[in-house]
Structure 1
Amino acid sequence: MGLAGMISGGAAGAMASAPASAVWTRTCQVLKHELGEATFGSWLGQASLREMGDEVCLVAATGVARDWIRRHAWRRIGELWMQHDPMGRRLDLTCRMELESVGAYAGSMALAAPAAANALALAPAIFEVEAETAPVAARQGRLLGLQERFTFETFVAGPANEFAYSVAQRVAAWSDGHFNPVLFHGPYGFGKTHLLNALAWAAIRTQPARRVVYLTAERFTSTFVKALQDRQTAAFKDELRNADLLLIDDVHFVAGKPTTQEELFHTMIALVEDGRRVVMTADRSPTEISEMEPRLRSHLQAGLVCGIEPADRNLRLGILQRKLATLAGQGGFHGEARPEVLQFLADRFTDSVRELEGALNTLVARVGGKLANLSLDEAQSILRPHLSCNERRVTVDMIQKLVAEHYSLKQADLISERRARAVARPRQVAMWIAKQVTTRSLPDIGRRFGGRDHTTVLHAVRRIEALKAEDAGMARDIDVLLRKLRG
């Protein structure tokens, strides 16, 4: 629709009483046509309008979006606003973060006003986490993607992650003598994101005046690409290189992206040389990220590389107990479950803490406050769909071969009549694993171990359960076997 048509006599009469939102809608129609759908969506698509009496304010989604609008579209927006608003209301400009931090927008952000420049200079930027007060820190954390449930208080530490946990706490306390940069690495679901979020929250609360920046590598990449397209790389660099603490999650995402790696490398060097701190996470160590640019890999290795190992059985049980207490508090029920149910979860879901917690979530969603009365067989039945993928791939034969190899035996030894402890104990381990990770019944498992009775299998399962609790070596053997079995 042409501009002249929109301000024709009849339309103008209708607009005389139109709310500001209607005026903005008509303005947007013209802007979309002039700027293009993609550019409009990137910078103005998430903007909103706030009204208070005769004052109207356009609230950009981020500080960078606000600055782009001010430089590239504000004059045109002003022209269109005046043409479409017969009431002659003034339109100001701010960003969502500043609005939440200051708590008001009135009369401070107009382009021509000198006060606006000062306000803009003081406004938080796209990645910044303001922490002047706890409520403000919480709002900004949510805005930037920090998860409130991921704190040091909810992080369960154990032998597999205690070194990384200790390092994260030292960085969050702004302790001197830190290594820089720090990289936490481990497979998916090992708690890296939890640790990085916890570090961010603690750092904000410890030193509210310090500037903390938290973002994923994917967000770093997408924002950098957008800055290149819109010739805003200087603003992008300023946003990151003024940080006192830069936290980047899943840095392996930039592998294979030369331009993004180049920018990340220079950002990291600028911060480290200026005495500022950099912490990242990755799904593997820098030496294993084959497509990472050598200079970036070298500087990551020059700092402190902390590997996070798979959670051992005791740590998995601790995680389940903490998660159950949280769910019980949220659901208003007594947070208890039968020990054999929690042990089954801890032994069955060994590859990822997320999968472990997800299994518990499933049980609680199904039975709620009746969890304390849930039997092991009922729990296995509820979780069967979650186990089916692995169960279809794992067979008793595979288990026997793996256990025999682990204990330097032959598969035939496990199905033989030999009762020597060196054979009987591995046989019991194999039976226990078969019960945990396959759908075979006890009689069926017994038949596959040389035609043994189901009571023999049941005895083996109970014996290994007891040994796992009292023998650390046995618990480690089973953890290793389960991980090998699942690839």
Structure 2
Amino acid sequence: MNGYDILENLKMQVSKLEYMQYVSKIQYDAQNSQENLFIFLTDNIFLANWAKRKYRNLMIKFVEQTTNFKPEILFNLKSERQPPQIPQRKYIIKNNQYTINQDYTFEKFIVGECNEFAYKMTKEAAKRQKPNWNPLLIYGNTGLGKTHLLNAVCHSVYKRNPNAMIIYITAEIMFNEYRHRLQNKTMDQFRERFRKCDYLLIDDVQFLANTEKFQEEFFNTFNDINLAGGQIIMTSDKPPKLIEKLEKRLKSRFDGGMSAKIESPELETKIHIIKQKCELNNINLDSKIIDLLATQVHDNIREIEGIILKLHGQMSLLNMPITTEIVENELKDRGVEKKHIDFEDVITLVARELNLKPTEIRNKTRSKKTIAKARKIVAYIAREETNTTFPAIASELNLKDHSAVSKQIKTLKEEMQQNPQLKNEISNMISKLKHILQ
């Protein structure tokens, strides 16, 4: 069994178009692969992530059916094929789901208000010989950069101390190994591996709640690492108190450490992230397309990556550029399209975004520039995104008549033409309205 067999089997399981777009661009790295470790190479991180999500399980299943053994499947970039000569990297324990991404460093992490605290906490944890807080938990929705930060810790710690023992794993894979060791009566090897590391980095820690016995094992592992001065850093999609079936003593341990939430990225941060990912992979996107993706896809950067990868692959094959129309059609296919929005939805969100009260926006006062701006934005969005009539908008905003509403909207449109930042800000508000109603 080798990687060429795996790719040949995969070819038979996908359509001809999909094979040409994606599978044909994946190469087997025979030089660096091992008996039960198959390494494949791609041109860019987008294709690597796509292959990991779409094909990894199919490849593992094929090997399992043929050899009766579950292999490790990794996707690396071609630029990483000839790494510098360094000692065997046993300081990082690779698992069946992830490899350490060379682009996921602290230097390449885009920092905004949404993630600044989590960034600073993980960077500080990676610098210290002994932890100030244990464990450190980074939580937030999918696709916001939690895995990037764990990878960045690996890079940073190794740079500081190449001899450090780092284990980077998902809770699900950790549980699978625990179950395997338990069945084969080799728990001593499990404890030797996990309790004697300097850094234990666990992705998707919400899956710790598999069984009480596993939680007990993790509790003891945590205590041993903590007593020895090691650092535990975890990610989760929710805070500890909301993780179902998590034992009280583990919740207590988690609460005794430090938690940092990654929020949905603000518009400017999303735009910077998209631009960076395009630059890293030599993909050229018009600024209008970047703005469109940033404003229409609410917060999931991973979803935006998927859209870019798919369109880049399709358009490269057809030798055509990615246009605004193509992106809009793709968003429509994904269900990112106009939803029914009421006037109250508009005024509530605009008030929240500009730190005002809805009653202030409805008031006639013009003493504050922010209020005047808010009234124009409400009038514009209400007209563009709702069925509210001009007279109804005038009544809601205490304006004289429909002509006053028309003037407000016309003025704002002129300002948006002259100020792209204002245009993006309003587009982002509209995107958030749609997201709320999904």
TM category (shorter chain) comes to 0.5 to 0.7
For 1:467 and 1:189, locate their aligned partners in 2 and report how far apart those are by CA, in whole Å: 30
For 1:217 and 1:374, locate their aligned partners in 2 and report how far apart those are by CA, in whole Å: 38
The residue type equivalent to 1:262 in the other structure is E
> 1:341 maps to which residue?
289
For 2:254 and 2:240, locate their aligned partners in 1 and report how far apart those are by CA, in whole Å: 7
> Cα deviation per residue 1:85-120 (whole Å; 9 max; x = unaligned)?
xxxxxxxxxxx99xxxxxxxxxxxxxxxxxxxxxxx
Contact 1:468 1:475 in 2 (8 A): no
> 1:174 maps to which residue?
128
> Cα deviation per residue 1:9-41 (whole Å; 9 max; x = unaligned)?
xxxxxxxxxxxx9xxxxxxxxxxxxxxxxxxxx
Query: Could you tell me how far 1:458 is from its partner in structure 2?
Result: 9.2
Query: Could you tell me how far 1:468 is from its partner in structure 2?
Result: 7.0
Alpha carbons of structure 1 residues 342 and 165: separation in structure 2 relative to 1, 3 Å: same
Structure 2 unaligned residues grouped into runs of 5+? 2-33, 38-70, 73-82, 352-357, 364-371, 392-401
Would you say 1:198 and 2:152 are equivalent positions?
yes
Contact 1:132 1:208 in 2 (8 A): no
> 1:442 maps to which residue?
none
Contact 1:362 1:383 in 2 (8 A): no
Secondary structure at the aligned position of 1:305 is classed as strand
Alpha carbons of structure 1 residues 323 and 422: separation in structure 2 relative to 1, 3 Å: closer
After TM superposition, the score normalised by the length of structure 1 is: 0.58
Alpha carbons of structure 1 residues 223 and 142: separation in structure 2 relative to 1, 3 Å: closer
Counting only pairs closer than 5 Å after superposition, residues 116-155 of structure 1 correspond to structure 2 as 134=86, 136-137=88-89, 145-148=98-101, 149-155=103-109
Would you say 1:300 and 2:246 are equivalent positions?
no
Contact 1:336 1:372 in 2 (8 A): no
Contact 1:211 1:245 in 2 (8 A): yes
The residue type equivalent to 1:290 in the other structure is E
Contact 1:399 1:485 in 2 (8 A): no
Aligned with residue 210 of structure 1, among 164, 169, 174: 164
For 1:468 and 1:430, locate their aligned partners in 2 and report how far apart those are by CA, in whole Å: 20
Query: Could you tell me how far 1:429 is from its partner in structure 2?
Result: 2.6
For 1:202 and 1:236, locate their aligned partners in 2 and report how far apart those are by CA, in whole Å: 26
Which range is displaced more, 163-172 or 265-274? 163-172
Alpha carbons of structure 1 residues 59 and 373: separation in structure 2 relative to 1, 3 Å: closer
> Cα deviation per residue 1:31-62 (whole Å; 9 max; x = unaligned)?
xxxxxxxxxxxxxxxxxxxxxxxxxxx9677x
Which range is displaced more, 192-201 or 213-222? 192-201
For 1:273 and 1:183, locate their aligned partners in 2 and report how far apart those are by CA, in whole Å: 18
For 2:320 and 2:411, locate their aligned partners in 1 and report how far apart those are by CA, in whole Å: 25
Provide the aligned C-alpha RMSD in A.
4.1
Counting only pairs closer than 5 Å after superposition, residues 378-393 of structure 1 correspond to structure 2 as 378-386=326-334, 388=335, 390-391=336-337
For 1:341 and 1:258, locate their aligned partners in 2 and report how far apart those are by CA, in whole Å: 49
The residue type equivalent to 2:117 in the other structure is F
For 1:466 and 1:136, locate their aligned partners in 2 and report how far apart those are by CA, in whole Å: 57
Secondary structure at the aligned position of 2:107 is classed as helix
The residue type equivalent to 1:179 in the other structure is W
Query: Could you tell me how far 1:481 is from its partner in structure 2?
Result: 3.4
Higher relative contact order (CA 8 A, sep 6+): 2
More helix by share: 1
> What's the % identity of the aligned pairs?
24
Secondary structure at the aligned position of 1:183 is classed as strand
After TM superposition, the score normalised by the length of structure 2 is: 0.64
For 1:180 and 1:313, locate their aligned partners in 2 and report how far apart those are by CA, in whole Å: 33
Contact 1:286 1:300 in 2 (8 A): yes
Q: Which has the larger radius of gyration?
A: 1
For 2:288 and 2:229, locate their aligned partners in 1 and report how far apart those are by CA, in whole Å: 51
